[in-house]
Amino acid sequence: QVQLVESGGGLVPAGASLRLSCAVSGRTFRLYGMAWFRQAPGKEREFAAAISGIDRITHYADSVKGRFTISRDNAKNTVYLEMNSLKPEDTAVYYCAAAPPSSRWYWRRTDIHHYDYWGQGTQVTVSS
């Protein structure tokens, strides 16, 4: 089975940067689409960023485009989320998610139901 463990969250002032990491178990990590979702208190979980498997094509929510960068190191079974110019509205629990290979990846990559495996989440708090 696939297990995901996030790390790197914390409390930072507005304008600061953080890098989140997600360590993934399994021998077929390189084939999986990966994503970061986030959930603020009282709100539904929402898509932030995604990256495909071997070809590493990325996609971002409009709210984070230009500020966040998703990347992966397939040799280390790790996906990252570099967050720059953080805003108070970025405050949320950030979750790493994994999806098996799919021909519908580019259409479904923002859909929470596309992902079969989830980490426990890491808290990011941005003060004003």
The owner of tokens 């990590």 is 29
Whether 79 contacts 72, CB under 8 Å: yes
Instruction: Please say if the pLDDT value at position 1 is more than 90.
Output: no
Given this model, what pLDDT does residue 57 score? 95
| Phi, psi (deg, nearest 5) at residue 90 | -80, -10
Given this model, what pLDDT does residue 13 score? 98
CA–CA separation, 26 vs 4, rounded Å? 10
* Chain segment 39-71, per-residue pLDDT in tens: 999 999 999 999 999 899 999 999 999 999 999
* Chain segment 67-87, per-residue pLDDT in tens: 999 999 999 999 999 999 999
- How far is the CA of 113 from the CAs of 66, 84, 128, in angstroms? 26, 28, 33
